[in-house]
Amino acid sequence: MLPEKGTRERVKRSLKYSILDGAFYAAMVGFGESFFSAFAVFLRATSTQLGLLGSLPQTIGALLQLFSARLLAHFRSRKSLSVAFSSLQAIMYLFVSLVFFFGELKVWLLILFVCLYWAFSTLITPAWSSWMGDLVPDRSRGEYFGRRNKIAGFVTFATFTVGGYLLQEFADGTTTQYLGFVVLFFLALVSRIISTVYLSRQYEPDYVVDKKLQFSFWQFLKEARFHNYGLFVIYLGFMNLAVFIASPFFTPYMLEHLGFDYATFTIVTATALVVKFITMPIWGKLSDRYGTKKVLAASGFLMPIVPILWIFSHDVLYLIAIQAYSGFAWAGFEVASFNFIFDSTSREKRATCVAYYNVVVGLLIFVGAMLGSALLKFIPDVTGYFVVFLVSYVARSLTSIFFLPHLRERREVSRISYRKLVFKAVSMLPTAGMVSHLVTFGRDEVVRLENAVMHKGTQRRR
């Protein structure tokens, strides 16, 4: 057994490796995962296929987490499990790249391989969350993950921007466009391999699965409404249902109905990413001081209005402003949601609790996406998109109104009103410089691209 000082050094070094792992994982997302929907549009996917691509992979991956406890018992190591499945996830980019050659089956094969990609990713999540929960001190969890997410967000923004530029450069002709996607997916594969190397260098504290503390998914569902964590899972489940009514369809809306080319799409989409990576550390510090529930509730009421704002104007500068707001709201929501899991679960049960959380969320994501695709199928043209955005807004708002008052903070924290909390978050932003940069960047690019013929891209959620 390592002496205490030696263990502290290994933990400290591992937290640095985790940031590097997160950075290269983010590069994979920016180069690869962020363009799955764009690739599907390039392959002439229907709205139903886009809905399936945006939801079915996460749902299947989530369902497989019902077996996560058995997997962890088989591997006997959270680290070994994480490294094995992250390697398999990287390989999926080879298969995704090759679907172009399979004629009418190409979109369905894309959905299949993205399902496998997500399955390998989500099977890692319970073990990785439990592992990181042991490494990161409770008192600085919000600050650490806020900093880690800031770096990852910056890398996602940078790689996504480069990816959009590359696709724009390869935009002439079907074969050339395909080669552009191949280059991006190769960069994503390499990034995930490097991420896995850093993951393998992290220290793993001793961990023993106590079967006496295990409980079934059905037991969890029956007791969920009586427990803080259970109510949180139900809330996030229904919130994701509401989000995914609209989320898979922003890409075809921008590329087909607004006519954006890859460059314009990248600018609008990347705005949310850059604001998110700037504000995540701010929300993380506020979460440590004022509680995850307070930040979750504040952002949970800020975020729902985002989709309906897309109805009012197609002007690129307007959409950049909307995306800046979206990045700010989603940063708080994601930081608080992630930290709430750690605050509300014990070390021994955390892997199982995370797995069941992902099962519930994954199932309801699929329901939301299918509702959205059904609306688009029966309501033609751009009106269908407006209806989808409106329904998503109403569903998000009602979910927050109903569930948030029932959640409780688990730590002793300083008190603050919601209004002051949001004001404090805004006041901590480098607001003037950020806004000036975004507006100048957007204006220059709009002038340059004003007469371009527009195309495609993707974002996980908006």
pLDDT reported for residue 404 = 93
Whether residue 459 is contained in a domain is answered as: no
Return d(Cα 186, Cα 182) in angstroms, integer: 6
Question: Using one digit for the tens of pLDDT, what is the confidence trace for 99-121?
Answer: 999 988 999 999 999 999 999 98
Whether residue 114 is contained in a domain is answered as: yes
Whether residue 456 is contained in a domain is answered as: no
CA angle (270 as vertex; 266, 307 as ends), nearest 5: 95
Question: Using one digit for the tens of pLDDT, what is the confidence trace for 336-361?
Answer: 998 888 788 877 777 788 888 888 99
DSSP string, 15-57: HHHHHHHHHHHHHHHHHTGGGHHHHHHHTT--HHHHHHHHHHH
Domain count for the chain, please give it.
1
pLDDT reported for residue 122 = 84
**CB under 8 Å, gap of 24 or more: what pairs does 434-443 form?**
434/275, 434/278, 434/324, 435/324, 438/271, 438/274, 438/320, 438/324, 439/317, 439/320, 441/267, 442/267, 442/271, 442/316, 442/317, 442/320, 443/317
Return d(Cα 417, Cα 41) in angstroms, integer: 45
Identify the residue whose tokens are 């603050």: 416
Return d(Cα 272, Cα 325) in angstroms, integer: 8
- pLDDT band at residue 323 using 50, 70 and 90 as cut-offs: very high
Whether residue 315 is contained in a domain is answered as: yes
Whether residue 454 is contained in a domain is answered as: no
Using the predicted structure, report yes or no on whether residue 28 has a pLDDT greater than 90: yes
Question: Using one digit for the tens of pLDDT, what is the confidence trace for 194-250?
Answer: 999 999 999 888 766 655 556 778 888 888 888 888 999 999 999 999 999 999 899
Whether residue 1 is contained in a domain is answered as: no
Query: Which 8-state DSSP code applies to residue 66?
Result: G
Map 112-132 to HEC letters. HHHHHHHHHHHHHHHHHHHHH
Percent residues over pLDDT 90 in the chain: 41
- Burial label for 228, CB within 10 Å (0-12, 13-18, 19+), is middle
Domain of residue 115, CATH code:
1.20.1250.20
**CB under 8 Å, gap of 24 or more: what pairs does 181-184 form?**
181/35, 181/38, 181/39, 181/42, 181/97, 182/97, 184/31, 184/32, 184/35
pLDDT reported for residue 4 = 62
Domain that holds residue 172: 15-199+215-449
Output the CA torsion sign for 188, 194, 198, 199. Answer: positive
Whether residue 48 is contained in a domain is answered as: yes
Question: Using one digit for the tens of pLDDT, what is the confidence trace for 389-419?
Answer: 999 999 999 999 999 999 988 778 888 888 9
Most confident of 17-26, 65-74, 124-133, 344-353: 17-26
